[in-house]
Amino acid sequence: MFDHVEVTGTGSASAVPDVVVLDARVSCDAPDVAGALAKASERVSAALAAASEAGVAAADRQSTGMGVNSRWDHEGRGVIGYSAYQSLRLLVRDRDGVGDLISALARAAGDSFGLDGVRLEVAEKAPLVEQARAAAFADAVRTATQYAQLAGRPLGQAVKVIEGGSGPGPAPKMRAMAAMDSGGGMPVEAGEHTVTVTVTAPGISTPIKKTVVVAAP
């Protein structure tokens, strides 16, 4: 009879985020669709120019959505105008300059500018995943070894490894508060970005089967 034990290992690796992702939006109102689109286009162009001047490369600027919505009166009985919008995603590699960039975008787009979200990320996640994977496998092996010892059996080699879903740990903290200085920049606190890996590796001992589970982001 082939006896086996299946175990799960979890490992994590952390790093300080080195890039900032800004999700911004420009929205403009007008009595007609053409007017709303024209105003939005003008403000978006100004915002993108400001981003370019701040050092955000063209490859790091992306339109993520656009559209036109009807604006209704308070009773919802009739259309009183239209609102055109465009959503932008900017990858900011100069983390220290993100506050000044947000201020520049607001100046360029005026009251049409909106900030939907700010995320801090690690640009190169592969090394973190590899570290977390190694830690998860080692964790699973430790557990399998203990079971083999308790059963009085030698531990064999893993015959299969299954890597499950992965995900980041708690989101980095961001302090987004109005600046009191004349620059108007918003300070951002980097925190840490954590990657967690879970692996399942059915392994064999003699005659124990070992499974290692590792989760990665």
| pLDDT tens-place string over residues 124-141 | 888 988 998 899 889 888
Distance, CA of 16 to CA of 120 (rounded, Å): 9
Residues 200 and 129 in one domain: yes
210 vs 28, residue with greater confidence = 28
Residues 102 and 174 in one domain: no
22 vs 209, residue with greater confidence = 22
Residues 111 and 185 in one domain: no
pLDDT of residue 193: 61
- Over residues 55-61, the mean pLDDT reads 94
Residues 189 and 103 in one domain: no
The answer to whether the predicted template modeling score (pTM) of the entire model surpasses 0.85 is no
Indicate the number of domains in the chain. 2
DSSP state of 31: S
What CATH number has the domain bearing residue 180? 3.30.110.170
The per-residue pLDDT for range 135-179, each reduced to its tens digit, is: 988 988 888 888 888 888 888 877 778 886 555 554 443 333 333
The per-residue pLDDT for range 90-128, each reduced to its tens digit, is: 999 998 899 999 999 999 999 999 999 999 988 888 898
pLDDT of residue 20: 93
| Proportion of the chain above pLDDT 70, given as a percent | 75
Burial (CB count within 10 angstroms: exposed 0-12, middle 13-18, buried 19+), residue 27: buried
Whole-angstrom CA distances from 201 to 5, 157, 177 are 11, 10, 46
> What range does the domain containing 175 cover?
5-16+125-215
